[in-house]
Structure 1
Amino acid sequence: MPNDLPIRKIIHVDMDAFYASVEQMDFPELKGKPLAVGGSETRGVVSAASYEARKFGVKSAMSGVLAKKLCPELLFVRTRFDRYKEISAKIRKIFNEYTDLVEPLSLDEAYLDVTENKKGNPSASLIAEEIRSRIYKEVGLTASAGISINKFIAKVASDYNKPNGQKTVNPEDVLDFLEALDIRKFYGIGKVTAEKMYQKGIYTGLDLKSKSLEYLQQHFGKSGSYYYHVVRGIHNSEVKPNRIRKSLAAERTFNENLSSEIFMMERLEHIAEEVSRRLKKSKVAGKTVTLKIKYSDFTLQTRSKTLPYFVNDAAIILETAKELLYQEKMTNSVRLLGISLSNLNTEKKTKTKVEKPIDVQLEFKF
């Protein structure tokens, strides 16, 4: 089935354990040691872990207490976001020497469309190698890359030979690559969904491909259509240089659990002010206020309210968060509070494109 959209050459670059690697680069005494950025052995959450720590099962979003239990020799360091942003800007400058079509996903990863590039190099694989080499020489850090015909496959491929490696999936290899892939490796399929798929006998891309669109929509809702298409190599999302922010948030993990709503309100006031500051700095406003509550037993709860108008004022954000806080009675003490604004005034409604299959037999050198 031919596709009327041109085959593209997409690179996904992902820095290796970025925050932890920056710390080990800046402080050589940390090299080779299990390291956690953020959190502590008594409180907080790990933002990033070095590869030495990952061998013990330590990973991001894990509590510092559990991380220390898994790895007694684990060292904790504070996050330094200004430094990470500084390094990220240097890396992005390198990207922009090859193409203007760069879509950052975060400080440590980005998509690049090099179908037509500033170097006139027809090989996306060679461009990826050159970019990774320059990052190492000019910044001092390693990066991994995935190269393929669309963002989904490039993203999956970048994790294939980590750390400090790359993987190219040529057009003629796309279907074989996806069919052999463990379902847990599919970008967009989390742990819970993977377990659900296992229960239904779906372990690989080939198993997923055997299911009809109706079956997947019935059992996985709206995501069913996404799974149906990506396993067939269909993902026509373009690399968007000016990626539109969909939400903005701030949160705090407390040194001691809070059981008094009065103390919670004091913390929420500071969080609301921080969210407001970030909104105004980005010159945006939002309609939907979401309160995030993590209890002392690590259960997570979110409560949201959509206002009839856009807001970025701290007082209104706080008042809405307060209303959400008192929405129902607390049954446990609280270790983290957060506020986010979504449904921003930067979002534009666009018509959904009908995605068509790719012709994987096309001659296209990567």
Structure 2
Amino acid sequence: MEEKATPARRKIIHIDMDAFYASVEQRDFPEYRNKPLVVGGLPEGRGGVVATASYEARKFGIRSAMPSKQALKLCPHALFVRPRFAVYKDVSQHIREIFSRYTDLIEPLSLDEAYLDVTEDKLGIGSAIDIAKEIKQAIKNELNLTASAGVSVNKFVAKVASDMQKPDGLTFIGPSAIENFIENLPVEKFYGVGRVTADKMKRMGLFTGADLKKLTEQEIKQHFGKAGSFYYRIVRGIDDRPVQPHRETKSVGAEDTFAYDLTSLEEMYSELEKIALVVHDRLVKHQLKGRTVTIKIKYSDFRQVTRSQSFPAFLNETDTILNTAKNLLQQAFTDTDRVRLLGITLSNFTAPIPVEKAPSTQLTLFNL
């Protein structure tokens, strides 16, 4: 009897830029180098939040998503700068071009990280470790930046591995090492396990992958819902998710955090107009129309609400998006509210809009 061929193991690389925004700023401005640098909202007035902190700032306990005022207390001599997203996007596109020299199977997660499937690489190198080394070196040579890489046979392990030896690290977790690696992994290090879930796990006496592994799938689902099945498989090193170079775009939006709290509808309408124009431009660029307009409101006390309205016909016109957003805001706003952020999103898409032809299929493209 003829034996069935064993499917080839995937070779997955996860590349994660090191303190990306801060590293770009330190590269471009010598006065920021070797100093604690915070990229994000400034701490003056109400302040904002930390987008990225340099490694010099992280030594003081400063982390992403931390209020800028808190960061300033932790490190009074830290330098604070606003993000330059256009610059970061250009750098990200160059990084993506480097990736594409080795494979077309690239799944970006954000401007500064991506999965690569190099099971069959374009240059015939064969070794995922060697490819990761070449990519890291190209990023250093061409952009004067560093990246960390995780290499393994699935996305979960590669993602966790890329964080093990930052900055400028490369960690390989081979098939024979995966079980021991995950069993010894603290639950807070599991990709997909946030702080709240990690705290809940610890209260249950679950501190490592080995602890999680003792539970049946039904027990994990009972405590953690649908995510329980994912945890059950991951803790056993099972992750069959493919690298997806094309992911369905489910929404297009834009938002803005303001330098001071907005307290009147007139101020908010003016900001919504700017945001609606950005959303419209993005929709036109990607030839998308949608049926659901959603507004996001974040208040000064960090409460956040969303309101949506759906339409029977597809749309992408600025006036319709703006007027709908204004109506939704008016319904949610009271005279005592102080608003720190507004956002508009369009979703529920049709296909690309061909000339004089009705759409018939869903559009799939890169994440916006």
Q: 2:278 aligns with which of 256, 274, 278?
A: 274
Matching of residue 261 in structure 1 with residue 256 in structure 2: no
Cα distance in 1 between the residues matched to 2:90 and 2:291: 32
Q: 1:343 aligns with which of 337, 348, 352?
A: 348
Which deviates further from its counterpart, 326-335 or 290-299?
Answer: 326-335
Matching of residue 184 in structure 1 with residue 185 in structure 2: no
Q: Secondary structure at the match of 1:326?
A: helix
Cα distance in 2 between the residues matched to 1:5 and 1:319: 54
Matching of residue 36 in structure 1 with residue 38 in structure 2: yes
Structure with the bigger RCO (C-alpha within 8 Å, sep 6+) is 1
Q: Secondary structure at the match of 1:277?
A: helix
Cα distance in 2 between the residues matched to 1:85 and 1:91: 10
Corresponding residue number in structure 2 for 1:353: none
Shift of residue 4 of structure 1? 6.9
User: How has the CA–CA distance of structure 1 residues 310 and 237 changed in structure 2, closer, same or farther, with 3 Å as cutoff?
Assistant: farther
Q: Percent identity?
A: 56
Read off the aligned partner of 1:115 and give its amino acid letter: T
Q: 1:13 aligns with which of 12, 15, 22?
A: 15
Corresponding residue number in structure 1 for 2:226: 222
List per-residue Cα deviations over 1:299-333 (Å, max 9, x = no partner): 32333344444332222222332333233443531
User: How has the CA–CA distance of structure 1 residues 175 and 199 changed in structure 2, closer, same or farther, with 3 Å as cutoff?
Assistant: same
| Matches for 1:123-272 after TM superposition, within 5 Å | 123-272=127-276
User: How has the CA–CA distance of structure 1 residues 192 and 286 changed in structure 2, closer, same or farther, with 3 Å as cutoff?
Assistant: farther
Read off the aligned partner of 2:114 and give its amino acid letter: A
Shift of residue 82 of structure 1? 2.1
Residues 349 and 362 in structure 2, CA contact (< 8 A), matched pair in contact too: no
Q: Secondary structure at the match of 2:305?
A: strand
| Matches for 1:290-329 after TM superposition, within 5 Å | 290-329=294-333
Which deviates further from its counterpart, 121-130 or 8-17?
Answer: 121-130
Shift of residue 56 of structure 1? 1.9
Q: Secondary structure at the match of 1:44?
A: coil
Cα distance in 2 between the residues matched to 1:307 and 1:130: 50
Shift of residue 3 of structure 1? 11
Give the aligned CA root-mean-square deviation in angstroms. Answer: 2.2
Read off the aligned partner of 2:347 and give its amino acid letter: S
Which deviates further from its counterpart, 236-245 or 174-183?
Answer: 236-245
List per-residue Cα deviations over 1:202-248 (Å, max 9, x = no partner): 21111112222212222212111111111112221111222333322
Q: Secondary structure at the match of 2:211?
A: helix
User: How has the CA–CA distance of structure 1 residues 306 and 237 changed in structure 2, closer, same or farther, with 3 Å as cutoff?
Assistant: farther
Residues 248 and 341 in structure 1, CA contact (< 8 A), matched pair in contact too: yes
In structure 1, list runs of 5 or more residues that go unmatched.
351-366
Residues 14 and 144 in structure 1, CA contact (< 8 A), matched pair in contact too: yes
Q: Secondary structure at the match of 1:47?
A: strand
Residues 38 and 52 in structure 2, CA contact (< 8 A), matched pair in contact too: yes
Residues 104 and 243 in structure 1, CA contact (< 8 A), matched pair in contact too: no
Corresponding residue number in structure 2 for 1:82: 86
Q: Secondary structure at the match of 1:13?
A: strand
Cα distance in 2 between the residues matched to 1:217 and 1:304: 31
Shift of residue 139 of structure 1? 1.3
Matching of residue 332 in structure 1 with residue 334 in structure 2: no
Q: Secondary structure at the match of 1:162?
A: coil
Cα distance in 2 between the residues matched to 1:86 and 1:16: 16
| TM-score, structure 1 normalization | 0.89
Cα distance in 2 between the residues matched to 1:174 and 1:75: 41
Read off the aligned partner of 1:215 and give its amino acid letter: E
Which deviates further from its counterpart, 74-83 or 15-24?
Answer: 74-83
Which deviates further from its counterpart, 328-337 or 232-241?
Answer: 328-337
Cα distance in 2 between the residues matched to 1:341 and 1:147: 36
Q: How many residues align?
A: 349
